[in-house]
């Protein structure tokens, strides 16, 4: 049942990943799931840049360099984490959003559609037993210096993926009744 899958979805971080590589076919399946997200006016604003192999390491070095360059009081631990996390991932997918050139709808709707695409990716990973999470560091504003982006395209974060061994904890949520007002 889909509700069971939704309840099972968790953030699984790079430190939890093992060394088992992620098959290209599995990444393609996750991206196909993303492609079926709902979107207003069929703009399909989601764009993805898949990083594997050496590109993950280059991303880590780039992020660490940008952090050291722009942070007023950089912390060595954070700089090191920026380098190490990408290396631990089986794959990293840059989550980008391509703004409709006609601006025929509000930007928030295209961001929301891209977020729904990421939720599809996350649920697909959960079903496949692949750990994942969406990281959105402030450093994403520099990603146009790392890879080529189209005019109107912006990076919204990174979708880290990796196989893991440990049991994931059960999730908790407050009751939905506390978050709903019924108007009859």
Which residues neighbour 49 within 8 Å (Cβ) at sequence distance 6 or greater? 93, 94, 96, 147
Residues making up the binding site: 9-11, 40, 134-136
Residues making up the binding site for FMN: 9-11, 40, 134-136
Coil/strand/helix, residue 9: coil
Q: Which domains does the chain have, with CATH numbers?
A: 12-49+90-165 (3.40.109.10)
pLDDT tens per residue, range 138-183: 999 999 999 999 999 999 999 999 999 999 999 999 999 999 999 9
pLDDT values of the chain reduced to their tens digit, one per residue, 184 residues:
899 999 999 999 999 999 999 999 999 999 999 999 999 999 999 999 999 999 999 999 999 999 999 999 999 999 999 999 999 999 999 999 999 999 999 999 999 999 999 999 999 999 999 999 999 999 999 999 999 999 999 999 999 999 999 999 999 999 999 999 999 9
And the tokens for 93? Answer: 């997918």
And the tokens for 108? Answer: 């928030």
Helix (H) or strand (E) holding 84: helix 76-88
């Amino acid at each position: 049942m889909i509700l069971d899958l939704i309840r099972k979805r968790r953030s699984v971080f790079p430190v939890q990943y093992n060394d088992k590589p992620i098959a290209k076919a599995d990444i393609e399946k996750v991206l196909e799931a993303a492609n079926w997200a709902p979107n207003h006016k069929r703009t399909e604003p989601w764009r993805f840049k898949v990083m594997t192999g050496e590109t993950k390491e280059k991303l880590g070095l780039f992020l660490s360099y940008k952090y050291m360059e722009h942070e007023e009081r950089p912390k060595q631990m954070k700089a090191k984490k920026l380098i190490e996390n990408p290396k631990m991932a089986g794959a990293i997918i840059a989550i980008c959003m391509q703004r409709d050139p006609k601006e025929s709808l509000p930007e928030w709707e295209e961001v929301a559609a891209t977020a729904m695409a990421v939720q599809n990716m996350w649920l697909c990973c959960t079903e496949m037993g692949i750990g994942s999470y969406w990281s959105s560091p402030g450093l994403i504003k520099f990603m146009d210096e790392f890879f080529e982006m189209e005019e109107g395209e912006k990076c919204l974060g990174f979708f880290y993926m990796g196989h893991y061994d440990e049991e994931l904890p059960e999730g908790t949520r407050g009751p939905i009744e506390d978050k709903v007002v019924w108007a009859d």
